[in-house]
Structure 1
Amino acid sequence: MRKTGMIVLGHGSRRREVSLQFTAMVERVAREVSGAPVLPAFFSLGEPTLADQVRALALQGCDRIVVMQYFLYNGVHIEQDIPEMIAALREEFPGVEFVLQPTLQDDPALERLIVDRLLADAGR
């Protein structure tokens, strides 16, 4: 039976408070996900990195790692940079299955949130 670990991958920021807020959000999400560790990682401008967290999960015995790309749009990081990082990690961890989830682009749940927020203040 495979052991799954999860990583929420954000871009990162030079501002420490942004990194702390992202990490706190991932910790809240992790409390809602039972049965698998959920860790924050930063693509750029922050630590821990994606590679750091993959190594941490591998040390915990995870042989399947789900990477949720916490990005709004499919720019160059999504289309090129992150797939290259995942390819390198697949070479470093050949026994680990990597599942790369899509970004939030065109996600109906996000669109519903935007509609709900707009309607909450409509007519004011």
Structure 2
Amino acid sequence: MQTEIILLGHGSRSLEANHGLIKVANKVTHLVNRPVTPAFVSHGTPDLPSAIIVKILSGATRIIIMPLFLFRGMYVSTGIYEEIKDIKEQFPQIEIIVAKELGADDIIANLAYSRIKETIGHEFSDEPFQ
């Protein structure tokens, strides 16, 4: 089974912002030791359906979509599934899995804490949230 991974971000008119998603995809590529493709909801290429089709045409039998969104808003809850509905019908033999969004995770809280601390100094304790 050939598993492929797509890292899905919102996208922006700012190329610098879109480059951020590409940088994260490259970092995840090194962590999972396999290619991770960035895709964009809007204002960037490829869009999600295009990225999925490229993966299928290159031989993927399973595609994991990792939404790089903090919370489960409308797009994560329904929009992704609406975008991939036709592809799933056209390629029923391909397993397409949508991973859970980032969510209210301790890692996110610790990252926010780190950014606050680096912005205003060392007023806070050095103990991360647990």
TM-score by length of 1: 0.86
Q: List runs of 5+ in structure 1 lacking aligned partners.
A: none
The reply on whether 1:90 has 2:100 as its aligned counterpart is no
Instruction: Give the superposition deviation at 1:119.
Output: 5.5
Distance in 1, matches of 2:117 and 2:23, equals 28
**For 1:34-70, what per-residue CA distance to the aligned partner results, in whole angstroms no more than 9, with x for missing partners?**
2x43100001121101111111111221110000000
Q: List runs of 5+ in structure 2 lacking aligned partners.
A: 125-130
Which aligned pairs between 1:54-93 and structure 2 lie closer than 5 A? 54-93=52-91
Letter in 2 for 1:13: S
Structure (1 or 2) with the larger CA radius of gyration:
2
DSSP-derived class of the 1:86 partner: helix
- Runs of 4+ in structure 1 deviating by more than 6 angstroms, as ranges, are none
Distance in 2, matches of 1:47 and 1:63, equals 22
TM-score by length of 2: 0.82
Distance in 2, matches of 1:43 and 1:78, equals 11
> How many corresponding residue pairs?
122
More deviation, 9-18/78-87: 78-87
Distance in 2, matches of 1:5 and 1:72, equals 22
Distance in 1, matches of 2:117 and 2:49, equals 41
Which aligned pairs between 1:37-52 and structure 2 lie closer than 5 A? 37-52=35-50
Root mean square deviation, CA, Å? 1.9
